[in-house]
Amino acid sequence: MIDKVVASAAEAVADIPDGASLAVGGFGLCGIPMALIQALHEAGTTGLETISNNCGVDDWGLGVLLADGRIRRTISSYVGENKEFARQFLAGELEVELTPQGTLAEKLRAGGAGIPAFYTPAGVGTQVSEGGLPRKYDDAGNVVAASEPKEVRSFGGVDYVLEESLTPDYALVHAWKGDRLGNLVYHVTAMNFNPLCAMAGRITIAEVEELVEPGELDPQQIHTPGIFVQRVVAAPGVEKRIEKRTVSGGS
């Protein structure tokens, strides 16, 4: 048996170097690996390229790293809710590769499955396929880097754009339960991007709310098999925040 448990989040991320690329699970603030993000922040790691549905909010999630200038480039599908993100992008401090959400999900899944590229109809006829989508500005607001045109082919009379898959250096994910072998179970909507990131990372690090012994998880309920996971850290009681709260008035 290979016991993949490490003693702390700090130990789990200790070897992530400056400039590393990392896929980070979560959608908004749901299912984000906050214990690992905080440990990476405390380690002082910088120059990161993040791959995530979004980049957190101004004071939580990946926004914690962003606020201190630790992220140089991000691949995301949604970048709202974060004023500092907008400021850095428009000031030329941050490079951003916007990707359709389904395409981003498939880029990660395909990377984990060993598929180097795939064709999709999403983005055909737009700057996604034709190029010219701003990726980086200078401090005067001029575009200094833009997306390149991508190959488009027709199948059955329908055009599709070629997208390359993603295999980042590391993946950080959050799971509800995990065992010492790295098998993971996610809780309801925290499934989001976590299983995809876990597949794609060359080294995948999972924080789990509940650490159990091998054999305690129902094999039919496991979402990410341990073969994809290299490190597991227990993170009981990790703080969970709600991005937006809506309440109804009482009578």
Supply the pLDDT for residue 251. Answer: 55
pLDDT at 81: 77
Q: Which residues of the chain have pLDDT under 50?
A: none
HEC readout, the chain: CCCCECCCHHHHHCCCCCCCEEEECCECCECCCHHHHHHHHHHCCCCEEEECCCCCECCECCHHHHHCCCEEEEEECCCCCCHHHHHHHHCCCCEEEECCHHHHHHHHHHHHCCCCEEEECCCCCCHHHHCCCEEEECCCCCEEEECCCCCEEEECCEEEEEEECCCCCEEEEEEEEEECCCCEECCHHHHCCHHHHHHHCCEEEEEEEEEECCCCCCHHHCCECHHHCCEEEECCCCCCCCCCCCCCCCC
Amino acid 250: pLDDT: 62
Identify the structural domains of the chain with CATH numbers, from first to last: 9-116+165-234 (3.40.1080.10)
